[in-house]
Structure 1
């Protein structure tokens, strides 16, 4: 029986090395790994939109309300979702795109019955548009969608290789943690996810694995090596 994994992808994963433009080879490499694992894993993907628009930061820069900034950010995730879907389909991965912001021409509305049906069909599920409401992070959305697909784990594929005791870019003494609890993460104020995401995951017993999407074959390693990255539970 297949296990379900919710993959939370940073928008930066779609960018070139110098972050000047989107790099299709990065997306196609992710698609290659997902296709290799599709025989044993059902993937749900929550994609960020920070490569296009950072809601909280850029709303301040533009002088618009934070709520509007979040709405623009949600639309950015739908743009990324369309890109992922098209490139995945080109690689022979049957994919369903779901949109929390109603966009019938773009993707399906998020409903549990539609999610269950897509899983039964063996699809890779892409969730875009955040939760459909401002002021919720993509991390909280990832936990929510993970629960909806009955995920075994949430994989937070980011730009660091796990959770550290401090920012490794600023503190050379920072140590990589292999395991920790959600309470430890909250009490230590480790900014891996926001408090809402921590609480929702802990309450429902959903584990999160944190690792770098930029490490070669990172998805294959996350699937095959129980010690890969950091586990929060």
Structure 2
């Protein structure tokens, strides 16, 4: 794995994790947890407030609502709601539609980006995982770079014409976060999604990672014979990493 650990850029991506039992479980059972939007650390990340629904006639409104909630509910609601009430209901359903999706965050950058280890790996006490996306292309289908903007603008949506544009909401962040070089993957629901075990290539523990936690990482990694475990040395030079092989 020595050659791989030195690589950054396609097909290699990195996932930063804290020193907790959830991280160990992901490693041991070969999955990635896709979390709810409201649990992200940026309150403006993927906010439904940015969706601007375009006006439609009544027939289009019902079709649009079907996209969000399904045919059965639409048939019932069609008998109960006026056009104005229907439009209000559609607007109210958009947050639920967005919030049911799961989000997993990755980065193009290895541990040379100190803020990532500080922010997402418990001040270097956690670790980061190196994946090769080519080794599970089905799982990683739809992986996209974030678009960083000076100002988050409304996304106009006409659900029957450009309903797929609603997913753009997941890939927009303020440029304050651009240092993360984030890639993002969206699944239909939040929760655990299993990944080909071979896609995980290396585990790199932060320089503040305790011996006790490293022992737990080694136990969690026992089924991954192809995965090496490393630990960073505390950097003494800017933008230079030194890694020591543990196992």
Question: Do the structures match in fold with TM over 0.5?
Answer: no
Larger radius of gyration: 2
| TM-score (normalised: structure 1) | 0.24
Higher strand share: 2
| TM-score (normalised: structure 2) | 0.23
Tell which has more relative contact order, 1 or 2 (C-alpha 8 A, sep 6+): 2
